[in-house]
Structure 1
Amino acid sequence: MTREHEDLLGLLAEVRKRLLIPARDISDADAAKRTTVSELTLGGLIRHLATGERLWLRILRTADGSLPDGMLDTDQYAMSETLSHWLAAYSEAAAATDEYVASLPSLDVEVQLPTTPWSPPEPQFWSARRIVLHLIHETAQHAGHADIIRESLDGANSTAQLA
């Protein structure tokens, strides 16, 4: 594994950890509770990211532009199982992503993205690097959402929970 692999996977691990802090000591009922006008919930965010990592890993592995099952799921933010289920699914997806990315000799590998309703008409290609950067961006963005949701639930925030 190169220094770049280590740096990017290390940053991804940090933002994953940051995302999970607001879910500490939360009941399933609270994990499914909306606290803002948004449809987002803590459990729904974790489900979305667990599913997203699994889908992006499939895209990275196949690299042929095929559309993975579930990619167009419009209900991916709903917490359909228990929080512990989604936490375990997220942990498994993260471990699988890390293992595969670490096994790549270079992050320059080109991957054809699937065509979706929001895709440009011409085929799109991303490097493995860009996919990892996308996962970092997506996870960091949702970690901020998770902080707001948790603080709205009970006043807790990541800064207090880190202590």
Structure 2
Amino acid sequence: MTATPQGTTDTTLDPERVSLLEALAQQRYFFLHTVEGLTDDQARLTPTASELCLGGLVKHVALTERGWTDFVESGAMAGGEDADLEARANEFRLLPDETLEGVVALYREVAAHTDELVRTCDLGADHALPPAPWFTPGERRSARRVFVHILSELAHHTGHADIIRESIDGQRSMG
């Protein structure tokens, strides 16, 4: 489960795609570094004032990224105003029948699919966002903007993960 930064050596890609892939690889490295060497029980701990745990964060990031890549591919997006509240809460937990290794594997699978889309899709293609209180009515989002959003969300949750990991055993991702 060792995290390693994986940029791209594909010289056939344009600089924008290379930049997106490299930025995603760097953030994924830091994010997955926060869970290296943890047991499932440690990945379920909530040692801060929040209810967040590391295993749940990995699962949430994977499921959210998959939702956005579905949007890029089809314009459809699960969740929104009609989301099942219990399922949404469980997205942030490592449930008893789940393992850290399993959610990391899911995340790696989702990330590989995202990278393939970054390499191949029309970055300017856009879709209307579904109705939700957090989207402006009628707003559209391009694939490019979705990938920047995925990167932003990943960086945001990497910060959460770093604080949680430091609270568990003192390990810090960057220093």
Given the two structures, how large is their TM-score scaled by the length of structure 1? 0.88
RMSD: 1.7
For structure 1, which runs of at least 5 residues remain unmatched after alignment?
none
Distance in 2 of aligned mates of 1:78 and 1:53: 17
Q: Deviations over 1:54-108 (max 9, x none)?
A: 1111011002xx332698342121112110010000000000111122112x421
Name the counterpart of 2:113.
96
Matches within 5 A, 1:3-22: 3-22=15-34
Q: Which residue of 2 aligns with 1:129?
A: 144
Partners in 1 of 2:63 and 2:78 — Cα distance? Answer: 11
Which structure has more RCO (C-alpha within 8 Å, separation ≥ 6)?
A: 1
User: Which ranges in structure 2 are unaligned for 5 or more consecutive residues?
Assistant: 1-12
Per the alignment, residue 68 of structure 1 pairs with 78
| Matched ranges for 1:102-117 at <5 A | 102-104=119-121, 106-117=122-133
Give the TM-score normalised by the residue count of structure 2: 0.83
* Counterpart Cα distance in 2 of 1:35 and 1:108: 42
| Percent sequence identity over aligned pairs | 38
- Quick one: which amino acid aligns to residue 142 of structure 2? S
Give SS of 1:26's match. Answer: coil
Aligned pairs for 1:7-46 (under 5 A) are: 7-46=19-58
